Amino acid sequence: MRLAVFVSGNGSNLQCIIDAIDNKLLNDISIGLVIADRECFAIERAKKSNIKYLMINRKSIDFTTIDSELIKEKISHIVLAGFLSILDKSFCEAWKNKIINLHPSLLPKYGGKGMYGIKVHQAVIDHKEKESGATIHYVIAGVDEGEILLQEKCNVDENETASSLQNKIHVIEKEILIESLKILYAKA
């Protein structure tokens, strides 16, 4: 399985995949390409690990070019790891069941357009939820709507803040990310 990882931010989930490959927690899986839609620290992580990367312009994403880059790099699966741009419908259809996304809530709750980063956790706190978590799902054209592959829950404690919840979920999302890649590999 040869992955492309799409990023927009810190890239801690990209790093988690890199580390799992290096530590042989993931076998026969490699990262062939990192695609970033903006300047971000994730690119530094790709450079440090000698992974080829591509910067795209998020204001005018050319999915035909992305598609041909993916084919050129023999990519079999795509991981959206904190990628903030929305994928085009025909691109999602062409890569059906081959793209997964990581979302920091228990979807279908607190997903959809505009629900990213700290906003997700703030909404969970504002609604006085007792639990939250992370979800890995297949990507379809509707934002955060594809079939769920794995979910992991955590408690929302009494004095929880959006930021403490975010830190908690940053830990659990990495566990299910690696597990999801094993599931995808088994299905490939």
Catalytic residues: 103
Which three-class secondary structure state does DSSP give residue 129? coil
Q: Which residue is nearest to ligand GRF (CB)?
A: 82
CB 131 within 8 Å of CB 158: no
Nearer to ligand GRF, 82 or 146 (CB): 82
Give the C-alpha separation, 10 to 1, whole Å. 24
Nearer to ligand GRF, 12 or 122 (CB): 12
Question: At its nearest, how many Å lie between ligand GRF and the CB of residue 81?
Answer: 5
Question: At its nearest, how many Å lie between ligand GRF and the CB of residue 82?
Answer: 3
Nearer to ligand GRF, 98 or 103 (CB): 103
Residue 158: how many other CB atoms lie within 10 Å:
6
Q: How far is CA 65 from the centre of its chain?
A: 21
Give the C-alpha separation, 3 to 114, whole Å. 26
Binding site for ligand GRF (CB under 6 A): 9-13, 42, 81-82, 102-104, 170, 173
Tokens of 5: 């990882």
Question: At its nearest, how many Å lie between ligand GRF and the CB of residue 106?
Answer: 12
